[in-house]
Amino acid sequence: MKKLEKRWLQTQGIITKFFIVCLLVVLVLNVLTPVKKTSEMENRGLAQRPTLSWVTLSDGSFFKNYQTFESDQFVARNGWIHLNYLMQKLSGIRKIQDVYLCHDQLMEEMPQPNQTQLKRNINAINQFASAHKDVNMQMVLAPNAISVQDDRLPAFATADDQESEMNQIVKALSISSVDVNSALKKHKNEYIYYKSDHHWTSLGAYYAAHAINTNIQLNQYQKREVSNSFQGTLASKVGSINIKDEVDIYTPKQKCDYIVTYGSSNKQTRSIYNSKAFDHKDTYQVFFGGNEGMINISINNDSDKHLLLIKDSYANSLVQFLLPYYRTITIIDPRYYYDDLDQQMNKDIITDVLFVYNTNTFVQDTSLADCLGY
C-alpha cells in the first residue's frame, strides 16, 4: 500500500513539474514572440501592449487592457482557435455564433429583419422609382447559401424560410424583380457559393447576370483562377483553417476596353481587378479592391445604356459580366456614399437602375433610404 502511495506521489510530482515547465515555456514564447498588429485569420486588428502610467494604474485600465493584449497575442493563437473549432464540431455542435458547421462548408444564419428599416427602404425605393419614371429599374435580391443549398445543413438543423421573406419584399416593391433565386436553385449542386465566406462565387454571380440579361453567356468569357486558398469571413468567425476556396475571375473574350475611376481618390485604372488582393487573406477584394462609395466605369462600346448600380458587396463580382452591355456603369454603395444621387444620375445620363443586394444585408440595411433621399 505504501509503495502505491509512493508511486502516486511520484507521478503527481512529475505531472506538476511537467505543468510548470509547460507554463514557463509558454511564458517565454509569449515574451519572445513579436507583437502582431492584425490577425488575418480573424480579419481584425489585435490589441497592442498598453501604456503603463499612474493614470492607467489608478483607474484599473492598464490591467484590463493588458489582459486583452495577452489574449490577442497569445502564442499559436490561430492554432488554439482552430482546435476549439474542431472540438466543438466533433462534439456535435452544429452552429458557432451565427454560422452553421456543414460537412465541408460554412453557412451564415438568416438574421432577424429590422422591420422598421426594411419598410423604410422599400418605401424609399418605390418613391425613388416614382420620381424617375423614365428610367428602367430592377431589383436583384440575392438569396444566401442557406436558402439555395439548405440540403447541406447539418442534421436536425433548421433554418427560416428565406424564400418566403424574399417574396414578401418583392411584392411590396413597385419595380420589377429578377428571379435570381430560381436561377441559382437550378445549379445548387455547382460551386455557386464559397465554402468559407458569405458571398456567391463568380459562377454564382454569372447565373445571376444571365437571369438579368439572357444575352450574357458563360462561353463569352475567359475564366482565370486567381486563388485556391481563400478563407472568408465565416471561416474567420468560427476559427476554421482547413476550409479554403477558389476565387475565379471572368474576362470578356472579345476586346472590352474601359476605364475605372474611384470616386474617393479620382484614381483611374484599366481593370476592375485589384492584383494586390492575390497576396492577402481576403481574396474577394480582387473585385475593385473592396467596397467604395462611388465607382465610375466608362466602356468603349456602342451601347446607349448607362447603368446606375446601387449595391452591397454581392455586386462586386457581378460587374465583370455586365461590362460589355453598357456604355457607362456608375456603382454606388450606400454605406459609403454621401452625395446627391439625383445630381449624379443627371450627370451620368442614367437610363437603367439596378439594385443588387444580398437578402441578409437588405433586411437589416440602414443606409439605403438615406442614400435615395427618402
User: Is pLDDT of 10 > 60?
Assistant: no
User: Is pLDDT of 11 > 70?
Assistant: no
Domain count, the chain: 2
Sign of CA dihedral 254, 258, 264, 266: positive
Among 92-96, 108-112, 132-136, which stretch is predicted with the lowest mean pLDDT? 92-96
- Average pLDDT of 274-286? 84
pLDDT of residue 122: 97
Same domain, 129 and 77: no
86 versus 208: the higher-pLDDT residue is 208
- Average pLDDT of 71-88? 54
Which domain range does residue 128 map to? 111-372
Question: Would 65 be classed as within a structural domain?
Answer: yes
- Average pLDDT of 140-164? 90
- Average pLDDT of 253-263? 94
Rounded to 5 degrees, what are φ and ψ at 44? -155, 165
User: Is pLDDT of 26 > 50?
Assistant: no
User: Is pLDDT of 167 > 90?
Assistant: yes
Question: Would 106 be classed as within a structural domain?
Answer: no
Q: Average pLDDT of the chain? A: 84
Query: Of 74, 101, 128, which closes a domain?
Result: 101
CA dihedral 288, 308, 354, 209 (to 10 degrees): -50
Query: Of 39, 72, 101, which closes a domain?
Result: 101
**DSSP code, position 316:** G
Query: Of 75, 101, 127, which closes a domain?
Result: 101
User: Is pLDDT of 15 > 70?
Assistant: no
- Interatomic CA distance for residues 43 and 273, integer angstroms: 21
- Interatomic CA distance for residues 309 and 9, integer angstroms: 73
Same domain, 237 and 339: yes
Same domain, 163 and 233: yes
Question: Would 230 be classed as within a structural domain?
Answer: yes
Regarding beta strands 294-299 and 328-332, do their DSSP bridges make them parallel or antiparallel, or are they unpaired?
antiparallel
Same domain, 115 and 97: no
Same domain, 91 and 203: no
pLDDT of residue 243: 87
137 versus 157: the higher-pLDDT residue is 137
pLDDT of residue 264: 75
Residues 6+ apart with CB under 8 A from 191: 201, 203, 246
Same domain, 201 and 335: yes
307-333, pLDDT tens digit by residue? Answer: 999 999 999 999 999 999 999 999 999
174-187, pLDDT tens digit by residue? Answer: 999 999 999 999 99
Same domain, 135 and 244: yes
Same domain, 56 and 165: no
Question: Would 299 be classed as within a structural domain?
Answer: yes
Same domain, 94 and 117: no
pLDDT confidence bin for 5, thresholds 50/70/90: low
Same domain, 213 and 139: yes
Same domain, 144 and 200: yes
- Average pLDDT of 112-135? 95
Question: Would 285 be classed as within a structural domain?
Answer: yes
pLDDT confidence bin for 41, thresholds 50/70/90: very low
- Average pLDDT of 164-177? 96
Same domain, 80 and 196: no
pLDDT of residue 70: 54
- Residue 261 CA to chain centroid, in angstroms? 23
pLDDT of residue 75: 47
pLDDT of residue 87: 60
Question: Would 321 be classed as within a structural domain?
Answer: yes
Share of the chain above pLDDT 90, in %: 61
User: Is pLDDT of 60 > 90?
Assistant: no
Question: Would 308 be classed as within a structural domain?
Answer: yes
- Average pLDDT of 151-158? 85
